[in-house]
Amino acid sequence: MNLGFIIKHHFFGAFREFFVYNHNSLEFRAKTFALVIGANLEASVDNYIIVKDIGMKIYKNDEDRANLLTLTTKELVQKIKENNGLDIDTLVLHIQRELKNIPRYAKKIDIQSLEKLLELTYDKDTLSYQQNIIEFLKNLKEEILNTRKDKIKEDEEKINSKY
C-alpha cells in the first residue's frame, strides 16, 4: 500500500466523526455488518465486496460513503478478530445501547442485506451462529419499532437525512 494512503487513512479514521455527514448513522450500520462478519473466523474479502455493494444502494451510488461504510466495517471486524477491546458480546451491547438512545436506527437494520453475508459461510456451526445473530437483530428491530414508535416519529420529524 502507498504510504500516502496509509497516512491519509489513519488521519481520516481519527477524525472521521468531524468530516463525515451522519457519522454515527454510518457507524451503526457498520456495527451490524461487523457483528455478522465478525462471527465468521474465515471471513473473506468477498464479505466486504457485499458490504460495499449494499452501501452503494443505501447511499445512492455515493462511492465515497460506501467505501467509508466498508472501511468502518473492516476496522470493527479487525478489532473483533484481534480481541482489541471489542468482541461480539460487546458489539451487541453497543448496538442495544444505541437503539435505546436513538430508536430510529432500528430502521437501519436491513435483515435481507445481512443475510447476503451468509452465502459466504461454509462451516455449519458458524452459519448457525450467524443466523442466530441475524435473528436476534431482527427481533430487536421489531421490538424497537413497535415499542418506540412515537419517539421514532418525533426524531424523524426533526431530522432531514438524504439517506
DSSP annotation of 62 reads -
Q: What is the pLDDT of residue 34?
A: 98
Q: What is the pLDDT of residue 156?
A: 86
b/e burial code for range 10-27 (CB count within 10 A of at least 16 → b): eeeeeebeeebeeeebbb
- Please state the rounded mean pLDDT for residues 5-32: 66
User: Dmax of the chain from CA atoms?
Assistant: 49
3-state SS string over 101-119?
A: HCHHHHHHCCHHHHHHHHH
Res. 100: pLDDT tops 90:
yes
* pLDDT tens per residue across span 109-135: 999 999 999 999 999 999 999 999 999
User: For residue 147, what is its C-alpha cell?
Assistant: 415499542
